Amino acid sequence: MNHNTPLSPRPLRHLPHVWRRVLTTAQLRSHGVSAAETNERCRAGGAWQQILPGVVLLHPGPATAEEKLHAALLYTARSPAPERAASIPAQPGAEDPHAAQPFADVLVTGLAALALHGFTSAPPLLSLETVDVLVPRLRRLRSTGCVRIVRTPSLPAPAFVTGVPVAPVPRALADAVAGLDDADAARRLLTEAVRGGHCEPAAVVRELTAARLLGRPHVVDAVDSLRAEGRAIAEDRLYRMVREYGLPDPVWNVDLRLPGGPHIGGLDAYWPEQAVAVELDTRAPRQDEDALWSEYVRKREVLERLGITVVHLTPGKLREAMEQQATVVRTALMAADDREPAAHVVVLPR
């Protein structure tokens, strides 16, 4: 048997609609279409066209956004032998178990991934000239046609959107920003990521740092806006937690000082009678991370020596487990009667 010999012919009608329009040459052979017949149909003016190396669009017109996405994945994915493809379990969101596509070791990333995640500030899929695909660093692939290869030492866990394996939002953002020179466009994407509840600022900044993008002035400006946006949202969640879970009202955004002595530090919420403080940790990884962490630890140690209980909350905890965090604060307030009275401190507006 040579490369022109069809393998176990199977009809195409069992495939979902998109898979009847985009197939690899190996898949066509498994359905009884020889290499010679594929080449003939892909000639100029023919009924088919080769959209990427080894990937055929089974109609002569322009590719739709869905076809372009699936062609990119077929080109980049590690594919098993055609006769084994039918035994692979369907990906989440696949329309038909017989149409499972072995998209191993690849993820859509960048602007295409953000569009799939529902970002309104990302261009529509159909308007994108290229689809960014994240692959392991050692894969022997090259960017071509509508596919741009993005390499990584290790793939993050995929999200599946309508059956398409997509990079998580922080990684997709970093890959999108890497290709942007427009500061406003980068800022809009980063702001929507946080404001739309897709992810926390710290996760985005970690990816931007790993991609060595924080040296770009327009990225630094966008990150500063991102951090401010993230803190405002976290503060709003803290207000909601106190209100919705019936906690006593604290004093908000205060500075503590020792009587006649030095400044201790700022707090997001403080219950003076119970000597319980809440501090939001909205730090993001930056070059000054060690100094910020040292200052945070110093302040916490001073407060605890004074008998003040410090509850440390992150934006992620408030977003994902607000009720649990309310219970933590309530427990600290209830335990106040069992503790030694705290030292007297002066509470000032921040």
pLDDT, tens digit, 9 for 90 and up, residues 7-43:
344 444 444 455 568 999 998 998 889 999 999 999 9
Whether the predicted pLDDT of 81 surpasses 60: no
* pTM of the predicted structure, to 2 decimals: 0.73
- The residues near 113 (Cβ < 8 Å, ≥ 6 apart) are 107, 132, 166, 167, 169, 172, 175, 176
Q: Can you tell me which residue has the tokens 């945070």?
A: 296
Q: Which residues contact 142 (CB under 8 A, 6 or more apart)?
A: 149
275: phi then psi, degrees, rounded to nearest 5: 55, 50
Q: How far is CA 284 from CA 207, 288, 307, 314, 321, in A?
A: 11, 10, 29, 11, 20
- For the chain, domains (ranges, CATH) are 247-349 (3.40.960)
Neighbours of 237 (CB within 10 A): 17
Q: Mean pLDDT score of the chain, rounded to an integer?
A: 84
The pLDDT > 70 percentage for the chain reads 84
Mean pLDDT of 274-286: 80
Express each pLDDT in 309-344 by its tens digit.
Answer: 999 998 888 988 999 999 999 999 999 988 888 889
pLDDT at residue 195, rounded to an integer: 85
Q: Give the distance from CA 337 to its chain's centroid.
A: 44
Confidence band (pLDDT; 50, 70, 90) for 55?
Answer: very high
Q: How confident is the model over 98-117, as a mean pLDDT?
A: 81
Q: What pLDDT, in 10s, does the model give residues 228-254?
A: 888 888 999 999 999 999 999 999 999
CB atoms near residue 65 (< 10 Å): 16
Phi then psi dihedrals of residue 43, to 5 deg: -65, 160
pLDDT at position 15: 47
Q: Residue 289 corresponds to which tokens in the numbers above?
A: 């991370």
**For the chain, how many residues are written?**
350
Residue 216: predicted pLDDT: 84
Q: Count other Cβ atoms within 10 Å, centred on residue 45.
A: 5
Residue 103 predicted with pLDDT over 90: no
Contact 58, 48 (CB under 8 A): yes
Joined together, the tokens standing for residue 169 give 């939002």
pLDDT at 283: 65
Beginning with the edge strand found earlier in the chain, give each strand of the sheet holding 22-24 in spatial order: 22-24, 55-57, 49-52
Q: How far apart are CA 186 and CA 144, in angstroms?
A: 25
Distance CA 119, CA 242 (A): 31
Q: Which residue has the higher pLDDT, 80 or 180?
A: 180
- Compute the distance between CA of residue 275 and CA of residue 9 in angstroms, rounded to an integer: 76
pLDDT at res. 221: 79
Are 303 and 256 contacting, i.e. CB atoms less than 8 angstroms apart? yes
Query: Locate tokens 């088919």: which residue?
Result: 48
Position with higher pLDDT, 243 vs 214: 243
CA 98 to CA 22: how far, in whole Å? 15
Neighbouring residues of 305: CB distance < 8 A, sequence distance ≥ 6: none
pLDDT tens for each residue of 289-313: 555 667 778 888 899 999 999 999 9
% pLDDT > 90, the chain:
53
Q: Other CB atoms closer than 10 Å to residue 277's CB: what's the count?
A: 26
Distance (Å, whole) CA 226 – CA 257: 30
CA pseudo-torsion sign 71, 73, 79, 82: negative
pLDDT top residue among 45 and 10: 45
Amino acid of residue 241: M
Q: How confident is the model at residue 194 (pLDDT cuts 50, 70, 90)?
A: confident
Helix axes 201-210, 169-178, angle to 10 degrees: 50
The lowest-confidence range among 83-92, 182-191, 327-336 is 83-92
Q: Which pLDDT value is given to residue 19?
A: 56
Give the pLDDT confidence score for residue 94 in this predicted structure. Answer: 41
Contact, 131 vs 112, CB < 8 A? yes
For residue 292, what pLDDT is reported?
61
Residue in the structure block whose two tokens are 């869905």: 66
Condensed to tens digits (0 to 9), the pLDDT of residues 123-156 reads 999 899 999 999 999 888 999 999 999 999 999 9
- With 80 as the cut, is the pLDDT of residue 79 above it? no
Give me Rg for the CA atoms of the chain.
27
DSSP character string of 85-112: HTTSPPPTT-S-GGG----BT-EEEHHH
